[in-house]
Structure 1
Amino acid sequence: MITEHLVDMSRLQFAVVALYHFLFVPLTLGLVWFLVIMEAVYVTTGKQIWKDMTRYWGKLFGINFALGVTTGITMEFQFGTNWSYYSQYVGDIFGAPLAIEGLMAFFLESTMVGLFFFGWNRLSRVQHLVVTFLMAVATNFSALWILIANGWMQSPVGAEFNYQTMRMEMTDFAAVLLNPDAQNKFVHTVSAGYVVGSVFVLSISALYLLRKRDVEFAKRSFQVAAAFGFASICSVIVLGDESGYSIGKAQQTKLATMEAMWHTEPAPAPFNLIASINEEEQKNNWELQIPYAMGIIGTRSFDKEIPGILEIKELNKERIITGVTAVTLLEQLRKTPDDMALRAQFDEVKDDLGFGLLLRKYTDDVSQATPEMIQKATDDTIPKVAPMFWSFRIMVGLGFLMLALFAVSLWYSLKGTFTQKTWLLKWAVIMLPAPWIAAELGWFVAEYGRQPWTIYGVLPTHISTSNIGVANVYWSLAGFVAFYTVLLIIEMYLMIKYVKLGPGSLGTGRYYGETPRNVTPSAADQEVNHVV
C-alpha cells in the first residue's frame, strides 16, 4: 500500500538529488561557451594569452563537468526505483528524450570533452576549436532533451491515453519536441547557465584584479564575462517574461500561486511586488502592487483576465467531479473494451481522468467519494502559496541585481577603467553565490508549482511512486546526501585550489606563483605582456 509518507519521502529524495545535481549543471552550460569564445580569439589572433585562458577556465570546467555527470546518473535510475508507476504510465513518451540525452551526454559530449583536454598537441588550432565548439553544442543539446522531457511533464502534448494498455502513448513526436513550454524552458535554463558561468568568471577575475595578480589575464577574462553576462542576463529576463506568458496559458494554477492572486482581478491584473500572505484565510493582509503589470505579462493584452486561486479551485472541483465519471467509465470499459457506446462516453470526459485520480489519495473506489473527499482533493490542487510567492521574488530580485552588475561592468569595460573601480570588483566577488541561489529557486518554483501532479493534469504524484518500503527510501536518501555532500566538498576543494593557483596552475612559467621559474607577480605580468 502506497502511503502519503512514502510519497513525501520519495519526493524529498528526488528533490535533494536534483538540487545537488543542479549545483553543477548551470556552470557547465555557461563555462563551455567561454572556452569557445576564448579559443576562437586565440585561433584568430594567435595570442598565447587567449590559449592560456582557454586552458585555465577549461580546467575548472572539467572539474565541474565530471561531478555534474556523476550526480546526474542517479536521477535517471530513480525513475525506475522510486517512480516505477510513473515510468510505466508515461514511459513511451518520457523515455525517448531521456534515451537521446544519454546518447548526447555519454557519447558525443564525453568524446568531445576528452578530445578537448588531450588534443591540444595532437590537433591543429582550427581542429581543436571545432572540438571545443562541438563540446559546447553537445552540452547544450544534452540539456535540451532533458528539458523537453520536463517540459512535457509541465505541458503534456502529442500524447493520448490508451484505455486498453492503461498508459499514455505518443501520437506526435514533433509536438513533444516543439512543445512551446519545453522550448521556453530550454532557452531560459541554458541562458541562466550562461549567467552562472559569467558571474563565476567575472568574480574570480575581479578577485585577481583586487589582489593585483595576473592582471592582463584577469582583465581579458573580466571583459569577456561582462559582455557575455550582460547578453545572457537580458536573455534570461526576456525569456522569463515569455515563460510567464506560457505558464499563464498552460498552468494557471502555478501563475496564480506565484503571484498570490486569490481572486480574479479586473484586466489587466496588477503585479504583487510584495504581500503579507494569509493562507489560512486565503487572502493577503496587505499588498504593494504595480498596476497592470501581471495582466500584460500573463496574457499579452489589456483585456484578458487571469483567474485567481479561488476561482481556479472551483474549476478544479468541477473537473474532479467529471473525473469521477471518467474513472468509473474507464473501469467499465476495461471489462467490455468493445463497447463503442461506452467508449464514446469515456472520450467525452477522458480529459478530466487525471482529476478523478486525485481522489485515489482518499479512497480506492473513486465512485464512492464523499463531498468531503472531493473538497480535500480540490484543496490539494493548489500548492502552498507563500513558498512559491517568495521564492519567485527572491529569484527575480537576484536577477535584476545581476543585470545591474553586468551593465556597470560592461560600461566600465568599454571605457577601460574597470580595474580602477575597487567597489565594482568587490561587488563582483560578493555576487558569486547569487546565480546559484537564483537557479535553485527557479527549479523549486517550476517543480513545486506543478504539484500535486507529476504530469500536469494527467497523473497525480501520489499514485506515481513505486510500492517500496519507506525504510528503503530513508536509507537511500541518507546515502545520497552523504555521497553527494562528499562530492560537493571535493568540488569545492578542487575549485578553490585551482582558483588560488590561478593560471599559474598551467605551468607555463608566465604567471603569478609559479615555482619552476620563480616568477614574481610583477615579472609574471611583464612576461604575459610579451605574449598578449
Structure 2
Amino acid sequence: MDLNIVDLSRLQFAITVLYHFLFVPLTIGLSVLIASMETVYVMTGREIWRQMTKFWGVLFGINFVLGAATGIVMEFQFGMNWSYYSHYVGDIFGAPLAIEGLMAFFLEATFVGLFFFGWDKLSKLGHLAATWAVALGSNFSALWILIANGWMQNPVGAVFNPQTMRMEVEDFAAVVFNPVAQAKFVHTVSAGYVVASIFVLGVSAWYLLKGRHTALAKRSMTVAASFGLASSLSVVVLGDESGYLSTEHQKMKLAAIEAMWHTEPAPAAFTLVGLPDNTERKTHYAVHIPWVMGVIGTRSLTSEIPGIHDLVDLAETRIRQGIVAFDALQAIRKAGSSEAIPSDAAAAFEDTGHYLGYALLLRPYLDDPREASDAQIRQAAWDTVPHVPTLFWAFRTMVGLGFFFIVLTATFVYLSARHRLDRHRWLLKVAVGAIPLPWIAAECGWIVAEVGRQPWVIEGVLPTAAAVSDLGAATVLSTIAGFTVIYTILFIIETKLMLAAIRKGPEKDNSPNQKLVPDALAPAE
C-alpha cells in the first residue's frame, strides 16, 4: 500500500473531524445552558428567562444543523477511506454508532423541533421536558461516540477470530464501561460546557460594551460564568484522570506528551517548556518541575513512567512476538478446519496472538512480516513513536488555556456577586476576545488524543497503514479538495447566520403567538 494514500486518508479524516468538532462542544454545552435557563423561567415565571432561552436557542439551532450535516459525512468515510478497518472491527465499532443514531441523535433531533415550535402548543412543564430531552440527547450522542472512540484507544471486550480475520465482541458491557471511554466522555463533555460558557460570556460582554440588552446580558453572564467555572475546574480534574489512564493503557502517548525520551527515576519531573527534536530524539532547553509528572501519571512517588527509548525496545520485542503469531495464523488458516489445525500452531497463537497487530507494523516495508530484517523490525518499533513536538505543544496549549478559563470565569463570578459586571470595560473586551479560545483548546485536545494514538488506528491491534482503502491518490486528493470547498462555504454561512442573530439580539416576546425562528434569523436592521 502506497504510504501517500495513508497520509492523504488521514489528512482527509482529520479535516472533517476537526471541522465537525467545531460544532459538537457548543451543541453539548449550549443545550444544557438553555435547559437551565428555561428551568429558571418555569420556576420563577419571569419573562426575561424565557427570552434568554429563546435567544440562545436560536444560536444553538444554527450550530446544531451544521454539526449534524458534518457528522454524517464523517461517518461515511469509514466505509469509503477505511474499508479494511470497517471489515476488521465493524461488528464492534458499528454497535455504539448505531445506538448513538437510534437512541441519542433521534431523541435530540425529535425534541429540537418541539423546542422551537412548541412554545405556544405545550405547557411550561411540557416544553421544559422537551428542552431537557434535547440536552440529554446531545450528551448521550457524545457518550456513544466516545465509547466507540475509547474502544479504539483501549480495545477491550473483543477477541480476534482467525477464521474470519475479524475482531468480534466478547463482552459488550466491557466495551460500554471501558474506563478510557468513560474518562474521555466526562472530560469531553466538560470541555463542551466550557466552550458554551465562554461563548455566552463573550457575546453577553459584547452586548454590555454596546449598551444593548443589558438585562439579558447580565443574567446570561452570571449563568455562563458560574457554569463555566465549575466546568473549567472539572476539566482539569477529569483531564488528570485521563492522564492516569494513559499511564496504564497508552504509555507511548504519555511519554510523547512529556517528550520523555528516557525513563527517569520516580517520581518523574514535568517538562514545563522545551523544544522536542524528533530527529535527534531529545528535548532542548527543557525546564522541569520536579515530581509533578510522576504524581499525576502514577498517583505515587515510587512508580516509574517509562521513557520513549524503553518503550521502543518493548515494541521491538512485541513485533518479534507478533511475527510468531503471524506465522501461526498462516498455519491455522492453511489448515482450513479446526480439527486440522496443528497443535503447535494453535499453542503459539494462543500465547502470542494478542501481539499480531505489532507484526502488521512491518507491512509498509514488506508484504510478509516473517521476512523482516533486524533493521526493519527496529524501524517499525520506532514507528510506534508519534510526532512528539505536535503532542508536546498541543497538550501545553490546551492546559494553559484551561487554567486561563478558570481565572476568567472566576473573575466574572466575583464581579457578578458584587453586581459589577459592567464596571470594567477592559475585562469585557477580554471576554469578547476569549470567544475562540475554547475551540482552540478543544481542537488541541482532539489532536492530543488522535495523534497520540498513531501509528495505531486501534491501539496495539491494527496499524493505521493497514486500515485504509485501496484508493488512488487522485481520488483522495479530489475528495479532500471537495470537502475543503464545501466546508468552507458552510463555515461562512454559519458564521453569517450566527453574527446576524447576535447583531439582531433577542426578540421582544410580548405576543404568545410570535414566531421565533423566522424572525430571529432575519437580517439585522
TM-score for the superposition, normalised by structure 1: 0.94
Cα distance in 2 for residues equivalent to 1:97 and 1:59: 30
Contact 2:51 2:507 in 1 (8 A): no
- Matched residue, 1:265: 264
Greater Cα shift, 159-168 or 416-425: 416-425
- Matched residue, 1:473: 476
- Shift, 1:341, TM fit: 3.5
Cα distance in 1 for residues equivalent to 2:271 and 2:32: 36
SS at 1:363 equivalent: coil
- Shift, 1:435, TM fit: 0.2
Give 1:109's aligned amino acid: E
- Matched residue, 2:34: 35
SS at 2:305 equivalent: coil
Query: In percent, how many aligned pairs have the same letter?
Result: 57
Give 1:23's aligned amino acid: L
- Shift, 1:453, TM fit: 0.4
SS at 1:467 equivalent: coil
> CA deviation digits over 1:444-464, x for unaligned, max 9?
110011000000000000010
SS at 1:419 equivalent: coil
> CA deviation digits over 1:419-477, x for unaligned, max 9?
21222211111111100000011101100110000000000000101112221111111
Cα distance in 1 for residues equivalent to 2:312 and 2:417: 53
The change in CA–CA distance for 1:78 and 1:404 in structure 2 (over 3 A counts) is: same
SS at 2:449 equivalent: helix
Cα distance in 2 for residues equivalent to 1:279 and 1:111: 49
Give 2:246's aligned amino acid: I
- Matched residue, 1:443: 446
- Shift, 1:35, TM fit: 0.9
- Matched residue, 2:65: 66
- Matched residue, 2:422: 419
> CA deviation digits over 1:195-220, x for unaligned, max 9?
00000000000110111111111010
The change in CA–CA distance for 1:318 and 1:107 in structure 2 (over 3 A counts) is: same
Contact 2:51 2:508 in 1 (8 A): no
Give the counterpart of 2:459 among 438, 456, 460: 456
Matched, 1:498 2:498: no
Cα distance in 1 for residues equivalent to 2:19 and 2:96: 22
- Shift, 1:270, TM fit: 0.4
SS at 2:333 equivalent: helix
Give the counterpart of 1:355 among 350, 355, 358: 358
> CA deviation digits over 1:471-500, x for unaligned, max 9?
111111111111111111111000011111
Greater Cα shift, 264-273 or 99-108: 99-108
- Shift, 1:105, TM fit: 4.7
Cα distance in 1 for residues equivalent to 2:266 and 2:3: 39
Contact 1:56 1:506 in 2 (8 A): no
Matches within 5 A, 1:104-143: 104-143=103-142
Cα distance in 1 for residues equivalent to 2:120 and 2:246: 49
Contact 1:7 1:461 in 2 (8 A): yes
Give the counterpart of 1:366 among 356, 361, 369: 369
Give 2:135's aligned amino acid: A
Matched, 1:153 2:156: no
Cα distance in 1 for residues equivalent to 2:434 and 2:401: 9
The change in CA–CA distance for 1:378 and 1:119 in structure 2 (over 3 A counts) is: same
Cα distance in 1 for residues equivalent to 2:159 and 2:458: 13
Give 2:68's aligned amino acid: V
Matched, 1:96 2:95: yes
- Matched residue, 1:313: 312
Cα distance in 1 for residues equivalent to 2:105 and 2:431: 35
| Two-structure CA RMSD over aligned residues (Å) | 1.3
The change in CA–CA distance for 1:18 and 1:506 in structure 2 (over 3 A counts) is: farther
Give 1:474's aligned amino acid: L
Matches within 5 A, 1:276-425: 276-336=275-335, 337-338=338-339, 339=341, 340-425=343-428
- Shift, 1:316, TM fit: 0.4
The change in CA–CA distance for 1:199 and 1:506 in structure 2 (over 3 A counts) is: farther
SS at 1:272 equivalent: strand
Cα distance in 1 for residues equivalent to 2:489 and 2:429: 30
Contact 2:105 2:141 in 1 (8 A): no
- Shift, 1:342, TM fit: 1.9
Cα distance in 1 for residues equivalent to 2:81 and 2:432: 40
Contact 1:498 1:505 in 2 (8 A): no
Greater Cα shift, 333-342 or 51-60: 333-342
SS at 1:111 equivalent: helix
Give 1:249's aligned amino acid: E
Cα distance in 2 for residues equivalent to 1:92 and 1:37: 38
Give 1:426's aligned amino acid: K
Count of residue pairs brought into register by the alignment: 509
SS at 2:422 equivalent: helix
- Shift, 1:508, TM fit: 6.8
Cα distance in 2 for residues equivalent to 1:272 and 1:378: 25
- Matched residue, 1:236: 235
Cα distance in 2 for residues equivalent to 1:116 and 1:94: 32
Cα distance in 1 for residues equivalent to 2:204 and 2:411: 15
Give 2:200's aligned amino acid: V
Greater Cα shift, 373-382 or 218-227: 373-382
- Shift, 1:118, TM fit: 0.8
- Matched residue, 2:522: none
- Shift, 1:418, TM fit: 1.9
Give 1:360's aligned amino acid: R
SS at 2:332 equivalent: helix
SS at 2:132 equivalent: helix
Give 2:284's aligned amino acid: N
Provide structure 1 residue ranges, at least 5 long, that are not aligned to the other structure: 510-515, 517-532
Contact 2:105 2:137 in 1 (8 A): no
The change in CA–CA distance for 1:131 and 1:192 in structure 2 (over 3 A counts) is: same
Cα distance in 1 for residues equivalent to 2:63 and 2:40: 24
Matched, 1:429 2:426: no
Cα distance in 1 for residues equivalent to 2:133 and 2:105: 14
- Shift, 1:506, TM fit: 6.3
> CA deviation digits over 1:300-351, x for unaligned, max 9?
1110000000110000011111111111111111112432442122110011
Matches within 5 A, 1:2-13: 2-13=1-12
The change in CA–CA distance for 1:211 and 1:432 in structure 2 (over 3 A counts) is: same
SS at 1:148 equivalent: helix
- Shift, 1:134, TM fit: 0.9
Contact 1:163 1:334 in 2 (8 A): yes
Cα distance in 1 for residues equivalent to 2:76 and 2:89: 15
Cα distance in 2 for residues equivalent to 1:214 and 1:374: 66
- Shift, 1:504, TM fit: 3.7
Give 1:244's aligned amino acid: G
Runs of 4+ residues deviating >3 angstroms: 504-509
SS at 1:161 equivalent: strand
Provide structure 2 residue ranges, at least 5 long, that are not aligned to the other structure: 513-518, 520-525
Contact 1:322 1:352 in 2 (8 A): yes
Cα distance in 1 for residues equivalent to 2:120 and 2:363: 62
> CA deviation digits over 1:13-47, x for unaligned, max 9?
00000011001111000100111111001000000
Give 1:395's aligned amino acid: M
